Structure 1
Amino acid sequence: MQLSEILTDVIRIADEASERVLHIYESDFKVSYKDDDSPITAADVASHEVIVSGLRAISYDIPILSEEGRDIPWEERQHWRRFWLVDPIDGTKEFTQRSGEFTVNIALIEDGEPTLGVVTAPALKEAFWGVRGEGAWKRDRAGKVRRISVAEPRGSKRVVASKNHLNDETRDFIDKIGDHELVQAGSSLKFCRMAEGRADIYPRLGPTSEWDTAAGHAVLASAGGRVQTLQGEALRYGKEDVLNPSFVAAASWCL
């Protein structure tokens, strides 16, 4: 399967999910809570249904792991060499706070590596995508598509951080970077801001799940960046435990 051949379909699916999400975002929606106290709305469910249906139509033989359909036993998942990894809405807190900085995320994982990723920001009317070995692109709110890449080396690093998850460990890491500028962003937009050259490094010393990072990781890697653990190893996907270790994502020259 050539990744470039299915990219257009994956973008279309993400756009369809984004339309459903935006319709709910602009309504008087209600917020419920899962067993782990994380928020969920009708938009999460609607996006999940659109994406899963769309991906099955274009690739019926590739399994799907989605945050909203995640109860698939390891005994089954351990045999997946290739699978779709989906976060129907990353940044549900940003969604409920109506900040606009939430995203729809679809990634294709092959042998533990994200090789294709699509990230849409419905409220911002932006979209990003990347394919391993072929590059990364951004579609702006006017519909114009341009190729993107990470920024060139600079003296003062622009550190992108989460508005809702800036813990003490991350602050300590940032302080050790030296001269820097703090850039705030929510959800997987942090990866995309680096991919388009608007930030340089994103340390995350706190809990995330594989579906939170995979699509943004694919976009950043396709734009010339890297995502690695604090031990310097590549961040991998398809583990028994879907929680990610702490990691640093950045333009390659920052690592």
Structure 2
Amino acid sequence: MPHLDHVALADRLLPALAAAGALLLDHRRAGVEVEVKADGSPVTIADREAEALLLDALAAAAPGVPVLAEETSALAEPAADARRLFLVDALDGTREFLAGTDHFTINVALVEDGEPLFGVVLAPAQGRIFATLGARLAVEAPLAPGTAVSTFADLGWRRIATAEPDLAAPRILVSGSRQSSELERFLARARAASVRRLGSSIKFCLLASGEADVYPRFGPTSAWDTAAGHAVLLAAGGLVTTVDGRPLDYAGLAHPFVNPPFIAWGRATAAAALLPQRAPLRG
């Protein structure tokens, strides 16, 4: 896979993404048993079966490119040393999935030299799919469960872009299950017009589509949780930084593949106003 053709890759993965989304919803309707992983997070057969569909599709679409996927990460640690690799989370937001909300996603990203170059995020219960169809082309399309599709063109995608924020009243997204003193200080500083609590990588996509302005995350996340949404946001005109203002990247991934605290921004103007490097939030 020497040259990245965003459209061709997205189209090759689309049927598997649609199938994985339908599988997750079918499992939820039928009821699933929950296991608890060593890190205390939940996992179900739905996660594993959806991941298997995506791994098969990636092997066919990009043979030889290693994959680091959440449920098989312990088996694929050498992949983290690769210059180019896929990051996969077949069910991001398992808690939200189990709680019956629609705030869970399927994430597939391609990272090269630590930079997220390609990403696709499907929110099955919302019927929305987001993807990079070019280095500076982020799109959204409807994808209802059970829809038979073969290409993104079939879906009638539309280009999305971030919105210039009202710096006096930014729209902020936060994790539905995490609270911290850092987050409280950030929200107090930002004087948000609204604060929405949501699970999963859908938050990156809402920034990318101009529906929100800032997503601060001071609690733990893994690389496969963020890379796909990160790629979509970059292509839409946004950015993601660490809390001291450096670009977030995925270079030097090592077990347990945890990101540092970060903030996703719709526009650089928000970052300049709300996170001056002379006033870091951590301490």
TM-score range, shorter chain: over 0.9
Alignment RMSD (CA, Å): 1.7
Q: How does 1:28-177 map to 2 (within 5 A)?
A: 28-72=31-75, 76-77=78-79, 79-131=81-133, 133-140=135-142, 143-154=155-166, 155-177=168-190
What is the letter of the counterpart of residue 270 of structure 2? C
The aligned counterpart of 2:207 is 194
What is the letter of the counterpart of residue 59 of structure 2? R
- Provide the C-alpha distance between the structure 1 equivalents of 2:55 and 2:192, rounded to a whole number of angstroms: 44
Q: Secondary structure at the match of 2:74?
A: coil
Change (3 A) 1:57 1:233: same
What is the letter of the counterpart of residue 145 of structure 1? W
- Provide the C-alpha distance between the structure 2 equivalents of 1:33 and 1:128, rounded to a whole number of angstroms: 30
The aligned counterpart of 1:207 is 220
Q: Unmatched 5+ residue regions in structure 1?
A: none
What is the letter of the counterpart of residue 118 of structure 1? V
Q: Are residue 216 (structure 1) and residue 244 (structure 2) matched?
A: no
Contact (CA 8 Å) 2:169, 2:190: kept in 1 or not?
no
- Provide the C-alpha distance between the structure 2 equivalents of 1:134 and 1:43, rounded to a whole number of angstroms: 33
- Provide the C-alpha distance between the structure 1 equivalents of 2:17 and 2:184, rounded to a whole number of angstroms: 33
Aligned positions, number: 254
Q: CA offsets, 1:36-84, max 9 Å, x none?
A: 221011110011100001100111110000000101465x235400000
- Provide the C-alpha distance between the structure 2 equivalents of 1:73 and 1:41, rounded to a whole number of angstroms: 20
Q: Give how far 1:131 is off.
A: 4.5
Q: Give how far 1:246 is off.
A: 0.4
What is the letter of the counterpart of residue 36 of structure 1? D
The aligned counterpart of 1:231 is 244
- Provide the C-alpha distance between the structure 1 equivalents of 2:64 and 2:98, rounded to a whole number of angstroms: 35
Equivalent in 20, 23, 36 of residue 23 of structure 2? 20
172-181 vs 24-33, which moves further: 172-181
Q: CA offsets, 1:64-119, max 9 Å, x none?
A: 00000101465x23540000000110000001101111000000001101100000
Q: Name the TM-score, length of structure 1 as normaliser.
A: 0.94
38-47 vs 237-246, which moves further: 237-246
What is the letter of the counterpart of residue 42 of structure 1? I
Equivalent in 256, 264, 275 of residue 249 of structure 1? 264
Contact (CA 8 Å) 1:83, 1:108: kept in 2 or not?
yes
What is the letter of the counterpart of residue 208 of structure 2? A
Q: Give how far 1:227 is off.
A: 0.5
Contact (CA 8 Å) 1:120, 1:127: kept in 2 or not?
yes
Change (3 A) 1:131 1:248: farther
Q: Give how far 1:245 is off.
A: 0.4
Change (3 A) 1:240 1:141: closer
Q: Secondary structure at the match of 1:26?
A: helix
Contact (CA 8 Å) 1:108, 1:114: kept in 2 or not?
yes
Q: CA offsets, 1:189-233, max 9 Å, x none?
A: 110110111100001011111011000101111100000101211
Q: Secondary structure at the match of 2:129?
A: strand
Q: Unmatched 5+ residue regions in structure 2?
A: 145-154, 272-283
Q: Name the TM-score, length of structure 2 as normaliser.
A: 0.85
Q: Give how far 1:180 is off.
A: 3.0
Contact (CA 8 Å) 1:157, 1:201: kept in 2 or not?
yes
- Provide the C-alpha distance between the structure 2 equivalents of 1:244 and 1:222, rounded to a whole number of angstroms: 20
